[in-house]
Structure 1
Amino acid sequence: MLKDFRQFLLRGGLIDLAIAVVVGTAFTAVVAALVKDLVTPLIAAIGGQPDFGALDFTINGSRFAYGDFLNAMVSFVIVAAVLFFFVVKPVNALLDRMRTEPPVQEHTRECPACLSQIPRAARPCAFCTEEIGVAAEPAVGSMAPQRP
């Protein structure tokens, strides 16, 4: 039983997840400080409100602190922008550059009668039963279908 527990703890996915949580927590603190100390004062210089956290209203003695929500929303947008522009876009560009496999050939074609996708080798359409004929195989490396 202890052996199984040790294997569970030492799984690569579990350790990766723990590292991601720790790094994410640290990153959240950095972004929260960025929003509180730089972005909010910048918006305040333009809009005149020095701290969104102080924005609230009261109804029947209940305080609604919508300023805290605005701070959280600005933090979320900044985190999403940083992740997209500094992680997702560069990784996608790197993966596109590293891709060396040829483009995948189309295994289907469009039925001229009903416009549904059918296998390239099919003669009658499975959807409308129109007799179509066998399509020629595309040339290797070519994505354009050839006419029979």
Structure 2
Amino acid sequence: MLKDFRAFIARGNVLDLAVAVIIGAAFGKIVTSLTDDIIMPIIGKVTGGLDFSSHFVRLGPIPADFKGSLTSYADLKKAGVPLIGYGQFVTQLMDFLIVAFVIFLMVRAVSKATAALEREKAEATAAPAADTAEVILLREIRDELKARSA
């Protein structure tokens, strides 16, 4: 069983997948930062200071010993107050849409590059162009000269 597991791990697809997961995790952090630190503040500015991360609906009571802000999603969540954080959901939705769009652009670019490569291969393996009239004439002259000298 250990031998089979080692063979499974050594296969190229598994290693490629591991690399993709690691790069994807790092890419996810970049996209989260892009969303949280750049896009959402711009959206907030355009919408008049709207900050999606602080939008929530409180579903339960606040503990008596709560000392945080009543408008802070993070403080209330840390205190164990049941909340529906729809602002956080909007932020995560933006993260997803950005990741999906970037992956779409990457796949599209790779598809175009692959199609261009296939076209180049097809053109390279295509039949040679037809001979020009000059080449045909020169061949006829050559053949005539060979026939006369023989």
TM-score grouping bracket, smaller chain normalisation:
0.5 to 0.7
* Matching residue within 78, 100, 103 for 1:80: 100
Q: Secondary structure at the match of 1:49?
A: coil
**Partner residue, 2:131:** none
**In the TM superposition, what are the counterparts of 1:34-113 in structure 2 within 5 Å?**
34-59=34-59, 61=61, 62-85=82-105, 87-99=106-118, 100-101=121-122
The separation in 2 between residues aligned to 1:5 and 1:43, in whole angstroms, is: 49
Q: Which has the higher strand share?
A: 1
Where does structure 1 lack aligned partners over 5 or more consecutive residues?
103-148
Give the RMSD, CA atoms, in angstroms: 1.8
Change (3 A) 1:47 1:101: same
Counterpart of 1:46 in structure 2: which amino acid?
V
The separation in 1 between residues aligned to 2:55 and 2:48, in whole angstroms, is: 12
Identity among equivalent pairs (%) = 36
**In the TM superposition, what are the counterparts of 1:110-121 in structure 2 within 5 Å?**
none
Where does structure 2 lack aligned partners over 5 or more consecutive residues?
62-81, 124-150
Counterpart of 1:13 in structure 2: which amino acid?
N
Counterpart of 1:95 in structure 2: which amino acid?
T
TM-score (norm 1): 0.62
- Superposed displacement of residue 54, structure 1: 0.6
Bigger RCO (CA 8 Å, 6+ sep): 2
Runs of 4+ in 1 over 4 A off after TM superposition: 59-62
- Superposed displacement of residue 98, structure 1: 1.1
**Partner residue, 2:30:** 30
Counterpart of 1:52 in structure 2: which amino acid?
F
The separation in 1 between residues aligned to 2:107 and 2:22, in whole angstroms, is: 20
Counterpart of 1:98 in structure 2: which amino acid?
L
- Superposed displacement of residue 51, structure 1: 2.8
The separation in 2 between residues aligned to 1:28 and 1:51, in whole angstroms, is: 21
Q: Which moved more, 1:88-97 or 1:44-53?
A: 44-53
- Superposed displacement of residue 53, structure 1: 1.3
